[in-house]
A and B are shown apart, each in its own frame.
Chain A
Amino acid sequence: MYPFALADCRLCALPSGALYWPDQQLLCISDLHLGKSERIARRGGSLLPPYETRATLERLDSDIEATGARRIVCLGDSFDDLAAAEGLDSADQLWLTRLMAGREWIWIEGNHDAGPVEIGGSHLAELRLGPLRFRHIATSDPAEISGHYHPKLRLAGRALRCFLLDAQRLVLPAYGTYTGGLWSDDAILVGLMQPTALALALSKTILPLPMPR
């Protein structure tokens, strides 16, 4: 758990890749890409092990349990596409419903799952809460929390997913199981983040370091 402040809000980065905002009892995760294997199969690709939704929900479950979050914000690309949301296995659907029960659940639109999904909760293009804005893809607005890029970095010979943090914004790592990543020194991320940006690498604990660029 790594506490930090953005626009005077006290936030916590978790080693799982989730963000927790204790004052709002809010848990934010990005890029779940649920149903990815189903989508690949539907398009005639390989039949990948169909367990990634289960694996992702398992981690989400334990994060909700551990933080006691009352409000969940999914920062976009929660489903690998809109059909994947409908094609969810019934056991996984039940699990998701159980997680949502009694909690405020907000689905932010992503580029993979733009448009409303036939599933409970609120569906928003973006969310403003206090000084913070939650949206899928970063813009030049201040106090912004986004996902989309799946940032990762190398540290002591290992590839690790990471948060990227500067005075203006936070970019979340991808939370989904079947997700690759973009190196933090990619031109897009170097252009997006301020020179003083930190990377919060996900290991057994969160390891903060200057963002490799």
Chain B
Amino acid sequence: MRLPSALSDWFSAQGWALHPHQTEMLSRASEASTLLIAPTGGGKTLAGFLPSLAEITPETQGLHTLYLSPLKALAADIRRNLRRPVEGAGLPIRIEDRTGDTSYTQRRRQRADPPHILLTTPESLALLLSYEDAPRIFAGLKRVVIDEIHALAESKRGDQLMLQLARLQALNPGLRRVGLSATVEDPPALAAFLGSQTAILQADPGPDPDIQMLHTQAPPPWAGGGGRYAIADVLQQVAAHKTTLIFHNTRAQAEIFFHHLWLANTDDLPIGIHHGSLSRDQRARVEQAMTDGRLRAVVCTGSLDLGLDWGDVDLVIQVGAPKNIKRLVQRIGRANHRYNAPSKALLVPANRFEVIECQAALEAVRARTLDGDPRARGPRDVLCQHILATACAAPFDAGALYAEAISAGPYASLTRAEFDACLEFTATGGYALRAYDKWQRLMIRQGKHSLRDPRTAATIRQNLGTIIDTETLKVRLKGRMGGTPLGEVEEAFASTLTRGDTFLIGGQIVRYEGLNELTVEVTRQPGRDPKVAVFSGTKFATSTQLSERILRLLQQPDWPDLPAHTVQWLKLQRDLSRLPAPGRLLIESFPYDGREHLCLYGFAGRNAQQTLGLLLTKRMEDQGLNPLGFVATDYATLIWGLAPTPDPAALLSLQTLRHDLETWLSGNAVMKRGFRNIATIAGLIERQHQGRRKSGRQATFSSDILYDTLRKYDPDHLLMQLTREEAMRGLVDFGRLEDLLARIGTDIDHIRLNQPSPFAAPLFLEPGKIPIHGQGREKLAEEAARQLMRNAGLL
């Protein structure tokens, strides 16, 4: 296929020449499915669109190309970027974007009269496909371009999108698909995800990045995140470069860092902030300023991991440990968006542990080893949602929908029985007790499944999508219900607070006073270190490969590549206790603050360390040791309780742990959280909208009750199976725990100390403490109630 002469003339006039992989995409235009892997700055997106630009003529009717991006911002940016050559060459092509931010009028017009190229997100596509007129909207669709497919494939959004592609393919059998991806560790797996006939096109990966740890005047703090200590050094770097992206792992940390950056920014360098919690206007303003070259730096989160070609970025700073080498490499690629120029990046560890992790990551990037876990089979809660959404559009034939589902990469191995169980769930609830024969959601009419009550389509559409927003609560100063709140915290975080806990919000330290309705009430507490350092952590676990590198690094005799402060800390740990080693498990126990503590350095990643905490506290509860709670990081689990554990190694038999797992799986908070997400995606519970949450407190009840009820009366229910399977892989990560225990065997070193060790001390400041609701807590509740009665003079 050749470019229209008007377009190639325009390219020449701009002095642009196509990269080899861009030309190659043109010549592969007629192939059914192509995966293009190219580094950032390689003109991937244009490569994906070239065949469309060549094919669309003034005679082309309706929608020709559908472009899908994981980010709303990306869809809008691509529209701007694509319009330039299209308008410059005078091509007769209409390009529009459609996201949750698009106005109602425009969305309606787009349904009636679709543009040639529609730029959208998986969620907006799900909605479009659920309308009765979907076949008309998508009639004549020729091409689908999926941008940043490596990012979509990391979540359920990707699974949902592949089911939607199968739907589109059924509507238009000649549909051709293109996936655009950054560097990944396993290209064939990603190709299979996109479709069984996918060919891979690999562009030149480009030169090695220039990446180092940032040298700071002050050493990093012992715990917490955010990297505030490095503000002055970061500012110097910003001043020395044209444009800098400063990445943070969480929105909260980005906010706090930005605040302090401004306080220290005496030269008034123009610096902006960008993350997913900001309003659309705010984000758009920053993006525009960046495009215009008016900003020297942007403090950002994953919202800028992808897309947005800003050619002038010449430095990327990553604050906080990258957790995963692949993502780090992709982030680094954001600097120097010119193809074949090395990217420049600096790492800023947020605490002492992260210094070690950053050093290990640097070595991995230089060795060009990427990490990653193989993708799991397509999750069935997403399939349940897809079945409901399909029913919203029109009655469907079960056999045809099954055939369609298994044509989607992630669902290729889905059995008919598994599909039927999902169908049964959406139709009748799928309970062992047949209760809803009269009130089925889907009924078979004339051999096809259709909605019993067509009015329910509205509710189903409102609940489409696989992104579960964490519920947040506003934080206000006590006694000032009016006025601007200090910020928002996740409900799950708020529930871990007890009165007197101090935490950081909006750059200031506050003391938790209590919950009032849906508001967290706090008082100002200047000048004290926060007890709980941040209010939201990254959910990614440090990868196995990176953890192994860290453990090997700890074995060096004098750590020549680490900064002096960290070397000092490691030496102290070696002197006072011991350093964790590969193939061994270090356990410390010590009293502190009136409680007994147990610390296990498994380096198994946050999720597996959390599981270890849950299983061990269960054992301890059974043995009457009254555990009260624990906290897990990527490196260690810290458990506290009322009694000391005499022989912790005895708790660690793999056989016992595996035996406990099933019992334990059923009753814990992590499972309940997982169940809530699965039940929401599968359509059992409706999304909590702010307004309804407020008015309906008395009428609505927590999904925990549903979980407990199913566990008791219908433990093999589909959603319980899915919750268990997902937990084993993700949140529970039992596989990694098994690997750990198999590796260490009996090589367990228990060290009794009379105070926290240098390694253990930072764990006390970690967020995300998990309470154990056992005898210990019962005793404390009794004590608390007694104390309140005494204070009131009633006892």
Contact = CB atoms under 8 A, between A and B. Distances in A.
A6 interface: no
Nearest to B426: A47
Interface stretch (B246-254, B309-317, B563-571, B712-720): B712-720
B782 A207 contact: yes
B702 A180 contact: yes
Interface in A170-206: 177-183, 185-186, 198, 201, 203-205
A158 B777 CA distance: 10
A163 interface: no
Contacts of B686: 45-46
A178 B496 contact: no
Interface string B696-727: 11111110011001101110010000000000
A155 B441 contact: no
12 contacts: A37-B435, A41-B435, A41-B436, A47-B439, A48-B429, A50-B433, A51-B713, A52-B709, A89-B435, A178-B706, A207-B781, A209-B785
A135 interface: no
Given A41-B436, A47-B429, A48-B684, A180 B698 contact: yes
B455 interface: yes
Nearest to A89: B435
Interface of B: 428-429, 431, 433, 435-436, 438-441, 452-453, 455-456, 459, 495-498, 515-517, 683-686, 696-702, 705-706, 709-710, 712-714, 717, 771, 773, 777-778, 780-782, 784-785, 788-789, 792, 794
B461 to A, nearest CB: 14
A158 B773 contact: yes
A179 B697 CA distance: 10
A55 interface: yes
Interface of A: 37-38, 41-42, 44-52, 54-55, 89, 149-150, 154-158, 177-183, 185-186, 198, 201, 203-205, 207-210
Contacts of B789: 208-210
B683 A46 contact: yes
A207 B706 contact: no
A44 B686 CA distance: 12
Given A156-B777, A177-B705, A46 B684 contact: yes
A48 B713 contact: no
Contacts of A52: 709
Contact of A47 (B684, B710, B771, B794): B684
Contacts of B496: 157
A150 B788 CA distance: 22
A205 B783 CA distance: 13
Contact of B428 (A47, A49, A156): A47
A152 B436 CA distance: 31
B238 to A, nearest CB: 42
Nearest to A198: B794
Which of B438, B497, B706 has the most chain A CB atoms inside 10 A of its CB?
Answer: B706
A203 B781 contact: yes
A34 to B, nearest CB: 13
Given A47-B684, A49-B717, A50-B429, A209 B788 contact: yes
Nearest to A41: B439
B520 to A, nearest CB: 12
A89 B495 CA distance: 37
Nearest to B457: A44
A159 B455 CA distance: 36
Contacts, number: 124
B508 to A, nearest CB: 24
A50 B438 CA distance: 13
A183 B515 CA distance: 10
Nearest to A203: B781
Contacts of B773: 158
A89 B434 CA distance: 10
A143 B456 CA distance: 46
Given A47-B439, A150-B698, A178-B705, A55 B713 contact: yes
A181 B697 contact: yes
A190 to B, nearest CB: 11
Contacts of A208: 785, 789
Given A180-B699, A203-B781, A51 B712 contact: yes
Contact of B697 (A48, A182, A205): A182
B435 A155 contact: no
Contacts of A210: 788-789, 792, 794
B435 A44 contact: no
Contacts of B433: 50-51, 89
Given A44-B455, A156-B784, A208-B789, A50 B778 contact: no
B771 A157 contact: yes
B531 to A, nearest CB: 14
A52 B701 CA distance: 12
Given A47-B684, A48-B684, A208-B785, A38 B435 contact: yes
Contacts of A177: 705, 709
Given A47-B431, A183-B515, 19 more contacts: A46-B684, A49-B709, A50-B429, A55-B712, A89-B433, A89-B435, A154-B515, A156-B777, A156-B781, A157-B495, A157-B498, A158-B773, A180-B696, A180-B698, A180-B702, A185-B516, A203-B778, A209-B784, A210-B788
A207 B686 CA distance: 34
Contacts of A183: 515, 517, 697
Contacts of A156: 498, 777, 780-781, 784
B440 to A, nearest CB: 8
Which of B435, B438, B496, B778 has the most chain A CB atoms inside 10 A of its CB?
Answer: B435
Contact of A49 (B439, B516, B714, B794): B714
A50 B656 CA distance: 35
A89 B498 CA distance: 43
B792 A158 contact: no
Which of A156, A183, A186, A210 has the most chain B CB atoms inside 10 A of its CB?
Answer: A156
Which of B683, B780, B781, B788 has the most chain A CB atoms inside 10 A of its CB?
Answer: B781
A57 B692 CA distance: 29
A-B pairs with lowest CB-CB distance, top 3: A47-B429, A50-B435, A41-B439
A157 B792 CA distance: 20
A204 B517 CA distance: 26
A42 to B, nearest CB: 5
Nearest to A154: B515
A177 B711 CA distance: 14
Which of A37, A47, A150, A183 has the most chain B CB atoms inside 10 A of its CB?
Answer: A47
B667 to A, nearest CB: 15
Contacts of B428: 47
Contacts of A49: 429, 431, 706, 709-710, 713-714, 717
A47 B709 contact: no
Contact of B785 (A48, A155, A178, A185): A155
Contact of B439 (A42, A149, A154): A42
Nearest to B782: A207
Given A50-B433, A178-B705, A180-B700, A186 B517 contact: yes
Contacts of B780: 156
A47 B498 contact: no
A47 B424 CA distance: 11
Which of A46, A49, A204 has the most chain B CB atoms inside 10 A of its CB?
Answer: A49
Contact of B714 (A51, A150, A185): A51
A44 B713 contact: no
Nearest to A148: B698
Which of A38, A45, A51, A154 has the most chain B CB atoms inside 10 A of its CB?
Answer: A51
Contacts of B683: 46
A149 B684 CA distance: 26
A155 to B, nearest CB: 5
A45 B459 contact: yes
A156 B428 CA distance: 40
A182 B696 CA distance: 9
A74 B515 CA distance: 32
B782 A180 contact: no
Contacts of B717: 49
Contacts of B714: 49, 51
Contacts of B792: 210
